[in-house]
Amino acid sequence: MAKEHPILETRDLTIRFGGHVAVDGVSASFERGSLTAIVGPNGAGKTTYFNLISGQLSATSGAVLLNGEAITRLSVPERTDRGIGRAFQLTNLFPTLSVRENVRLVAQAKARKGFDLFSVAESHVELLERADHVLAEVRLIDKAEQTVAALPHGDQRKLEVALLIALGSQVLMFDEPTAGMSVDEVPVILDLIRKLKSDMDRTILLVEHKMDVIRSLADRIIVLHNGALVADGAPAEVIALPVVQEAYLGKTPDASANSGEAA
């Protein structure tokens, strides 16, 4: 009987740095159109888990499968081509280029026009239109001409989300998208993520610390602790679990010792 593959799956995914096991045999699968929050204390391996999925790190053992196909050995751009999009925790943009150019570059990558040597980039009107469309969506259109380095932090976070929207991948990974944003800007980002999930049927993975954000967005939570998956389920259930109260919310004394570990 033919079984429908989950869009993204990790099987026993593990990475060791010397003696330290940063991600320890994590198996999880993600269905189309779902939004999964990944939580855990600092150093639990959340960002490392993301890096293993998007390819910045290669797994020591285990596998990453996209639509049932192993992508564990592929490079970062190959995984991006296959449909994995990634936003970063620390803002990670093209600082000397304009806001519009940042998004245009993503549209250009998607249209596979990067190796076009003979035409003038500005003549590809469809890429500029696509960029402006996305910028309008994240409410950055009036800053399109500005250089990214001169942008306030909140706008850089918005641009980070804009790049993922422009990429339009099947799987979108956000690493603390609202970190360092002002209170009135947070809902803008959350609305965008919600829209990506519902209107575009994207599968979203979200690393987030703010419980209210998780409650309002996630249909599922997985909890990492010391690199291992310790809980997986619907938000209400998972938050109520003692292991989560202990590991994530820091209800016991030894939680503070764990939070000091490096990822």
Partner 1 sequence: MLTRLLSGDTPRSGLLTVLLLIVLVSLAFAPFLFPGTRSLETAARICIFIVLVASYDLLLGYAGIVSFAHTMFFGIGAYGTALALSATGPSYGSLIWGTVAGAVAAAVFALAIGLFSLRVKAIFFAMVTLAVASAFAVLVSQMSWLTGGEDGLNYRIPRALTPAFKLFDEKILGVRINGKLLAYYLVFFVSVILFLAMLRIVNSPFGRTLKAVRDNAFRAEAIGYRVVWYRTTATVLSAVMAALAGSLLAIWLRYTGPATTLSMEIMIDILLMVVIGGMGTLYGAVLGATLFILAQTYLQTLMGVAADATSAVPLFSTLVAPERWLLWLGVLFILSVYFFPSGIVGRLRAGRV
Contact 39, 208 (CB under 8 A): yes
Contact partners, residue 99, CB within 8 Å, separation at least 6: 135, 140, 143, 144, 145, 146, 147, 148, 151, 155, 159
Least separation in angstroms between CB 31 and partner 1: 24
Least separation in angstroms between CB 165 and partner 1: 12
Identity of the residue, 162 or 238, whose beta carbon is nearer to partner 1 in the bound complex: 162
Residue 120 interacts with partner 1 (CB under 8 A): yes or no:
yes
Contact 160, 191 (CB under 8 A): no
Between CA 193 and CA 165 the distance in angstroms is 9
Least separation in angstroms between CB 160 and partner 1: 10
Least separation in angstroms between CB 127 and partner 1: 8
Answer for which of 116, 142, 201, 254 binds partner 1 (CB under 8 A) is 116
Residue 117 interacts with partner 1 (CB under 8 A): yes or no:
yes
Strand partners of residue 68? none
Least separation in angstroms between CB 148 and partner 1: 9
Between CA 81 and CA 74 the distance in angstroms is 10
Contact 166, 130 (CB under 8 A): yes
Alpha-helix residue ranges (DSSP H) falling in the chain: 46-54, 76-82, 99-110, 125-137, 153-167, 186-198, 211-217, 235-240, 242-247, 255-258
Between CA 81 and CA 40 the distance in angstroms is 29
Residue 261 interacts with partner 1 (CB under 8 A): yes or no:
no
Contact positions with partner 1 (CB under 8 A) in 56-115: 56, 75-77, 80-81, 86, 88, 92-97, 101, 104-106, 108-110, 113-115
Identity of the residue, 2 or 96, whose beta carbon is nearer to partner 1 in the bound complex: 96
Write the DSSP symbol of residue 93: -
Per CB under 8 A, the segment of 13-21, 116-124, 130-138, 174-182 that binds partner 1 is 116-124
Between CA 34 and CA 169 the distance in angstroms is 14
Answer for which of 38, 167, 181, 222 binds partner 1 (CB under 8 A) is 167
Contact positions with partner 1 (CB under 8 A) in 7-26: none
Residue 146 interacts with partner 1 (CB under 8 A): yes or no:
no
Identity of the residue, 104 or 220, whose beta carbon is nearer to partner 1 in the bound complex: 104
Residue 128 interacts with partner 1 (CB under 8 A): yes or no:
no
Between CA 146 and CA 97 the distance in angstroms is 8
Chain residues binding partner 1 by CB under 8 A are 54, 56, 75-77, 80-81, 86, 88, 92-97, 101, 104-106, 108-110, 113-124, 163, 167
